[in-house]
Amino acid sequence: MRVQYLLSALPLLAPKSQKIVISNDDGWAVAQIRAQFDSLKDAGYEVILSAPAQNQSGTGSRSKTATDMREPCEYESCRVGSPAVGFNETDPRLNYVNAYPVDAARHGIQTLSPKFWSSKPDLLVSGPNVGRNLNVQVFFSGTIGAACEAAQQGVPAIAFSGQSTEHVSYTTLASDPTSEATLAAHAYASLTTTFVNTFLSSPSASLPPNTIISVNYPPLHNRSNCARKEDVKWVFTRTFPTIWRADMDICGNNGKLPTESEVVGYDEGCYASVSVLSATSKMDAGKEAQQEVLKTLGSLGFVCFAH
């Protein structure tokens, strides 16, 4: 009896290891995505990186068939003549796709997840992008494009973007550990992992159908009030200034959330913006979707935008 009890109790005691595919538009070898990959792995998640072989910034929701490498992957991270889709031989969870962010996200969800896990991922993390994605930038952003593709495949997806990083090779994380780009990569990675922890440990761990979340981080390190990741506060926002339908009512806002541009750009504060977008139109989602996301992320500790 005792043994039986222990055996049946075991699955409850073992923490469920959740599965994350991470993609971006800056390419598989930029510092920011590798810092994020390591941070999520260190937090106990199973992570597969599937990202473009090259910088594909600004390619939105474009898609094409991947082709063999006619030039090296970014930062010489693979050789000319390498296959259209490849991986790091010492760590096969690091994958590139020589196509667009949408194609890399799809490869991660449709091919790599079944191969490694025999299942879909629990979440797709897109980014953090090198640079912000505010307002109309969401239409051109490959970071947003990859997240929208995942949502359309039925996988919850969150896009992250931050201003302080630079487009540098992952090798600089080790070779230049105190550079601004390295420090920002680690700070944004840590904030993103906190966000992911909150999302995946919520009872639903899901998003309203056909929506994504878009998070933008403030610049760090160059202002005394926003120097460390601990200074960053989360604000619920909308992406576009023009309002077609009322937003949810919080913070006495009369049905209009602050825009992410005003929140992230507010130098007197240190705010990260959190917006809910339709995965098809890339416009702000309605207030029902906003309310559902607020409920899911409640324990993140949102603040009202004070300015």
Ligand X SMILES: *[C@@H]1O[C@H](CO)[C@@H](O)[C@H](O)[C@H]1NC(C)=O
- The residue ranges that bind ligand X (CB under 6 A) are 29, 55, 57-58, 77, 88, 90-91, 94, 167
Structure tokens at 81: 């003549």
Question: Alpha-carbon distance 70 to 4, whole Å?
Answer: 59
Collapse the DSSP code of 36 into the 3-class scheme (helix H, G, I; strand E, B; otherwise coil) and give the result.
helix
CB of 49 to ligand X, least distance (A): 9
Between 24 and 216, CB nearer to ligand X: 24
Between 164 and 211, CB nearer to ligand X: 164
- Taking the alpha carbons of 101, 105, 110, 116 in that order, is the dihedral positive or negative? positive
Helices (H), the chain: 2-13, 31-42, 101-107, 113-117, 142-152, 171-175, 180-200, 260-264, 287-296
CB of 216 to ligand X, least distance (A): 18
Between 152 and 171, CB nearer to ligand X: 171
CB of 127 to ligand X, least distance (A): 14
Collapse the DSSP code of 122 into the 3-class scheme (helix H, G, I; strand E, B; otherwise coil) and give the result.
coil
CB of 54 to ligand X, least distance (A): 8
Between 77 and 296, CB nearer to ligand X: 77
Question: Alpha-carbon distance 141 to 163, whole Å?
Answer: 14
Between 58 and 114, CB nearer to ligand X: 58
**Cβ pair 84, 66 in contact under 8 A:** yes
CB of 91 to ligand X, least distance (A): 4
Q: Which residues, including other chains, have CB under 8 Å from residue 11's CB and lie 6 or more apart?
A: none
